[in-house]
Structures are given as structure tokens and as C-alpha cells.
Amino acid sequence: DQQVKQNSPSLSVQEGRISILNCDYTNSMFDYFLWYKKYPAEGPTFLISISSIKDKNEDGRFTVFLNKSAKHLSLHIVPSQPGDSAVYFCAASLQTGANNLFFGTGTRLTVIP
């Protein structure tokens, strides 16, 4: 049972434009959400996170939006750069639980120069 879903396996965006990656979750108990970026043959790299008490968190070109009522979050990258091309994973966790992250299946972002 996939509790975190990324329904778009791939996304292509022109350099300089905005990339929007989406993620849905089913477990209303999740209260902390993270985005990771992964290159082939490497481990995921933490990008940005958001607590459920917030609806937006921004870090440079990366912004994560959380809509708790819709159980939906999104990652905005603006402007997109060719170096952003990678697989992006959405993850969720329970604050009171152990360090167990529930991951989506990932979205492959390709930024076209």
C-alpha cells in the first residue's frame, strides 16, 4: 500500500522556466514532509522539508507547498537549471515515530538547455 504517491514518473522543462513536482499522501498522521534529489548510482540528497504546521517553506530556488486538506504537496524549482535534472523523491514521516520515511516512487525531471 503506497502511502506516498508521485503520479508523474517524468517531467521535462525548459531551462529558466518553473518546474513543479507533485506528491500526494494518504495517511493523515504524517506531519513532516521532505524532498530528496537523486542522481544515478548515488544516494538521495536532502533538498527541503516542511512541517505540517506550515503551508510553505522556501530555500533559494526551491519552495515546497503543503495543502493538508488535500493531502498534497508540491516542489517548485525556479528558475530551473540543467543541473537540476535528476529523480526527485517525496517523503513523509511521523513526528512521534521512529525515523521511518515513506517515499514516493519518484519523478524524473529533465531540464532542457
Partner 1 sequence: KAGVTQTPRYLIKTRGQQVTLSCSPISGHRSVSWYQQTPGQGLQFLFEYFSETQRNKGNFPGRFSGRQFSNSRSEMNVSTLELGDSALYLCASSSRPQGNTEAFFGQGTRLTVV
Point out which residues bind partner 1 (CB under 8 A).
2, 31-32, 34, 36, 41-46, 49, 51, 89, 91, 93-106
| Shortest spacing between CB 62 and partner 1, in angstroms | 14
By beta-carbon proximity to partner 1, the closer residue of 29 and 112 is: 29
DSSP letter assigned to residue 84: G
35, 90 Cβ separation under 8 angstroms: yes
* In the complex, least distance from residue 8 CB atom to partner 1, rounded to whole angstroms: 13
Smallest distance from partner 1 to CB 16, Å:
28
Residue nearer to partner 1 on the CB measure, 43 or 113 = 43
Nearer to partner 1, 11 or 101 (CB): 101
CA distance readout (Å), 9 to 22, 87, 105, 110: 10, 9, 8, 11
Comparison of 3 and 110: residue with beta carbon closer to partner 1: 3
- Who contacts 22 (Cβ-Cβ below 8 Å, separation ≥6)? 6, 7, 8, 72, 73, 74, 107
**Cβ atoms of residues 86 and 30 within 8 Å:** no
